[in-house]
């Protein structure tokens, strides 16, 4: 708007100037080389303006003609550059899509047009890597590492190649060189820290953590956690050498990361040695509230040496009361078992012994069952459940499980990678519900945990149920003695006339036997089981009448108490319904009369 206004003002001024010149009288005479030119002032001004315009146009045309060769050359050059950049872009797209052949073709085209452009070398390296030409890849990255603008890119490529070839010495040297060039390079800092952690160079690790913190690669909290792991590792080494520096190192680590269990345990143990029992208790309580762990409970229970098991149980109760959870229940149950307080131990585990209890819960319940009641059967049941129970928590890092805490993961080399957690299960577990339902009357379930001492008595003698191998009969016929010896069953079958079974169909003797047994009244008198002498006589004399059946309770289907012993002696193994029992070798095999 302002420029338009300025132009308008200039136009007005020019118009005013020309109007003023037109109003002023006067002539202009010019004598040159014998010629004389006379005109008005207005015409002279117009002629001068026209001459100036012609000179400007001529000059511009001359300059345009002189610049045309460079302009034509620049046009061809820019066109060539566009083709090279298009080939470079197509090559990068081919690399991203996984087309190695197309990427190599575009890389050659881009290299022909663009020459030593860094992006061309990167594309060529990626295409060669896709084709498996590792020698070419290494050569290209070495060329890039020699140029200042691509040095870090070349170092990273060489580092990756060294890791692939398992040349960890060269890989570490390349990563350290990259850190020296630029400490803010994330991949180099992580690689250097991983190599130093693997070699357990704790002093170098501390320096690297400080460098990463200064370069804003990690925040202050992360740096403190890593420093705490380093200090704890140094404390563990010092304690193994009986070095007094372990106490100071553990305290420093505990201040940086109160949730670190090993640091708290070492600090509390050394505080106890120095007589600072209250300080040791505070250290453990602070860490327990953040991350409950069995080692903390054990250290808390043994803060004061010489205490009895009951004293340790009281101390554990005070610790568990502040923060519960399954770790608290396990700690309380363990202390109660040591103090022979079985009821307390059972109550502590009652909330975690149902559904799918962990293996350690099953083990503790087995100790309780055997220690409180001497019930080895129940103890074996709990131990059997422990075999298929979910795994207990453990120190885990990258799928690796360790019995003790380690500062560095052996899989990835990560500092502080071990965490206390339940390992991941590979196969889902299902409770055998069908088997449990079939044996509800013989195998007690999880509700047996609530049994008190007053309800427990000596286990009764096991009474086996009578087998169902009885001959089909009417309601008013006497029940056959299922507890008789197998030889007696054979003798009763042999009493039926064989001649009838040969002349008549098989169905007629069966009907006759059923009718005869139906007419016999039910005898109420209890008959003592046959003695061995009677059994011998019966076997010798086939015409002797069989022993009368024992009295059986028709409501429950169980034999009398007097026949329990005879039943156990006669039926050691359960017989199938279609098995009449073993036959005498000398006896003739009878016809089947079972329905």
Rounded CA-CA distance 188/193 in Å is 9
Q: Region 385-391: what's the mean pLDDT? A: 92
Q: What is the pLDDT of residue 42?
A: 77
How far apart (Å, rounded) are the C-alpha atoms in residues 568 and 558? 13
The pLDDT of 163-180, averaged and rounded, is 92
- Please indicate whether residue 18 or residue 104 has the higher confidence score (pLDDT): 104
What is the chain's mean pLDDT, rounded? 76
Task: Tell me the per-residue pLDDT of 421-433, one tens digit each, with 9 for 90 and over.
Answer: 998 875 444 444 4
* CA–CA distance, 541 with 546 (Å, rounded to integer): 10
- Supply the pTM of this predicted model: 0.58
Q: What are phi and psi of 101, to 5 degrees?
A: -65, -45
Contact by Cβ (8 Å): 220, 190: no
Per DSSP, the residues of 174-222 read HHHHHHHH-TT-HHHHHHHHHHHHHTT-HHHHHHHHHHHHHTTSS-HHH
Check residue 27 and give its pLDDT: 77
Mean pLDDT over residues 369-391, rounded? Answer: 93
pLDDT of residue 37: 80
H helical segments located in 274-375: 277-290, 294-301, 309-322, 326-338, 342-349, 359-368
What residue spans of 40-117 are helical by DSSP H?
41-97, 100-114
451 vs 385: which has the higher pLDDT: 385
Residue 328 has what pLDDT?
93
358, two tokens:
């962990």
- The band of 511, judged by pLDDT with boundaries at 50, 70 and 90, is very low
Helix (H, G, I), strand (E, B) or coil at 30: strand
Contact 547, 527 (CB under 8 A): yes
Q: How confident is the model at residue 272 (pLDDT cuts 50, 70, 90)?
A: very high
Which residue is it, tokens 């800092």?
189
Angle at 281 between CA 277 and CA 286, to 5 degrees: 150
What number is the average pLDDT over the span 579-593? 47
- How confident is the model over 10-30, as pLDDT tens digits? 889 888 887 887 777 777 787
Helix, strand, or coil here: 472? coil
Q: Which residue has the higher pLDDT, 310 or 538?
A: 310
Residue 563's pLDDT is what? 46
Cβ(356)–Cβ(431) under 8 Å?
yes
Q: What is the pLDDT of residue 480?
A: 41
Q: What is the pLDDT of residue 515?
A: 45
- In 3-state terms the chain splits into helix, strand, coil percentages (rounded to 5) of 60, 5, 35
At residue 267, the pLDDT reads 95
Per-residue pLDDT band for 371 (boundaries 50, 70, 90) equals very high
Q: List the end-to-end C-alpha distance of the chain, in Å, as a whole number.
A: 119
**Residue-level pLDDT at 476:** 42
Strands in 475-541 per DSSP E: none
- Asked if pLDDT for residue 45 goes beyond 90, the answer is no
- Look at residue 334 in the predicted model and tell me its pLDDT: 94
Least confident residue range of 180-184, 195-199, 294-298, 551-555: 551-555
* pLDDT value, residue 237: 93
- Would you state the pLDDT for residue 69? 62
Which range has the worst mean pLDDT, 104-113, 294-303, 446-455? 446-455
Between residues 465 and 387, which one has the greater pLDDT?
A: 387
Q: Which of 161, 228, 238, 169 is nearest to 199 (CA)?
A: 169
At residue 284, the pLDDT reads 95
Q: Is the model more confident about 376 or about 588?
A: 376
Residue given tokens 């040591």 in the structure block: 338
pLDDT value of residue 464: 41
Q: Would you state the pLDDT for residue 426?
A: 56
pLDDT mean over 333-339: 94
Residue 15 confidence (pLDDT): 84
CA pair distance 302, 266, nearest whole angstrom:
13
Q: How confident is the model at residue 70 (pLDDT cuts 50, 70, 90)?
A: low
Q: Taking residues 262-283, report their average pLDDT.
A: 93
Instruction: Give the pLDDT score at 73.
Output: 62
Higher pLDDT, 122 or 463: 122
pLDDT > 90: percent of the chain = 40
Spatial contact of 259 and 296, defined as CB atoms under 8 Å apart = no
Query: Exposed, middle or buried, 190 (CB in 10 Å: 0-12/13-18/19+)?
Result: middle
Q: Which residues contact 208 (CB under 8 A, 6 or more apart)?
A: 189, 192, 193, 196
pLDDT of residue 397: 93
Residue with the larger pLDDT of the pair 565 and 205: 205
Question: Could you tell me which residues are beta bridge partners of residue 30?
Answer: 37
Phi first, then psi, for residue 38 (nearest 5°) are -125, 130
Contact 368, 400 (CB under 8 A): no
Q: How large a percentage of the chain has pLDDT more than 70?
A: 69
In the numeric block, the tokens 């060539």 are attached to: 80
Q: So what's the pLDDT on residue 484?
A: 39
């Amino acid at each position: 708007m302002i420029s338009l206004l300025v132009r308008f003002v200039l136009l007005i001024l020019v118009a005013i100037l020309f109007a003023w010149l037109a109003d002023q009288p006067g002539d202009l005479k010019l004598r040159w080389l014998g010629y004389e030119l006379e005109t008005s002032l207005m015409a002279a001004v117009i002629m001068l303006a026209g001459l100036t315009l012609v000179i400007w146009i001529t000059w511009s045309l001359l300059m345009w003609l002189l610049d045309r060769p460079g302009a034509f050359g620049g046009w061809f050059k820019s066109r060539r550059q566009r083709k090279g950049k298009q080939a470079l872009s197509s090559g990068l797209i081919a690399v991203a899509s996984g087309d190695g052949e197309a990427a190599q073709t575009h890389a050659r085209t881009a290299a022909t047009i663009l020459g030593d452009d860094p992006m061309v070398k990167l594309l060529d390296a990626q295409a060669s890597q896709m084709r498996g030409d590792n020698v070419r890849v290494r050569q290209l990255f070495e060329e890039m590492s020699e140029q200042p603008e691509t040095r870090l890119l070349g170092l990273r490529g060489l580092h990756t190649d060294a890791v692939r070839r398992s040349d960890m010495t060269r890989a570490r040297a390349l990563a350290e060189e990259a850190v020296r060039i630029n400490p803010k390079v994330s991949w180099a800092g992580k690689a250097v820290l991983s190599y130093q952690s693997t070699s357990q160079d704790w002093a170098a690790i501390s320096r690297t953590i400080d460098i990463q913190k200064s370069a804003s690669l990690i925040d202050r909290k992360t740096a403190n956690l890593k420093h705490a792991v380093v200090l704890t590792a140094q404390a563990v080494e010092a304690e193994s050498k009986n070095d007094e520096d372990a106490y100071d190192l553990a305290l420093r680590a505990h201040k940086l990361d109160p949730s670190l269990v090993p640091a708290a345990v070492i600090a509390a143990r050394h505080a106890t040695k120095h007589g600072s029992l209250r300080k040791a208790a505070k250290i453990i309580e602070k860490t327990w509230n953040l991350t409950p762990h069995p080692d903390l409970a054990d250290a808390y229970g043994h803060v004061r040496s010489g205490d009895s098991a009951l004293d340790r149980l009281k101390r554990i109760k005070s610790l568990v009361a502040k923060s519960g959870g399954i770790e608290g229940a396990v700690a309380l149950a363990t202390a109660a078992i040591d103090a022979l307080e079985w009821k307390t131990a059972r109550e502590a585990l009652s909330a975690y012994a149902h559904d799918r209890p962990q293996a350690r819960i099953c083990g503790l319940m087995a100790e309780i069952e055997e220690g409180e009641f001497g019930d080895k059967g129940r103890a074996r049941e709990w131990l059997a459940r422990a075999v298929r129970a979910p795994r207990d928590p453990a120190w885990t890092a990258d799928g690796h499980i360790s019995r003790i805490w380690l500062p560095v993961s052996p899989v990835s080399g990560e500092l502080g990678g071990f965490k206390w957690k339940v390992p991941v299960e590979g196969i889902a577990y299902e409770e055998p519900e069908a088997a449990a339902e079939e044996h509800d009357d013989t195998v007690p379930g999880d509700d047996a945990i609530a049994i008190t001492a007053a309800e427990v008595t000596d286990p009764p003698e096991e009474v086996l149920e009578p087998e169902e191998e009885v001959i089909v009969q009417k309601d008013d016929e006497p029940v056959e003695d299922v507890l008789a010896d197998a030889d007696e069953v054979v003798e009763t079958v042999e009493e039926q006339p064989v001649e009838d079974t040969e002349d008549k169909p098989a169905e007629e003797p069966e009907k006759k036997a059923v009718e005869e047994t139906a007419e016999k009244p039910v005898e109420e008198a209890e008959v003592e089981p046959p003695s061995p002498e009677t059994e011998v006589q019966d076997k010798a004399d086939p015409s002797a009448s069989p022993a009368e059946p024992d009295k059986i309770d028709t409501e429950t289907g169980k034999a009398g108490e007097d026949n329990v012993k005879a039943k156990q002696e006669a039926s050691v193994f359960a017989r199938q319904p279609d098995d009449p029992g073993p036959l005498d070798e000398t006896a003739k095999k009878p016809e089947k009369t079972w329905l």
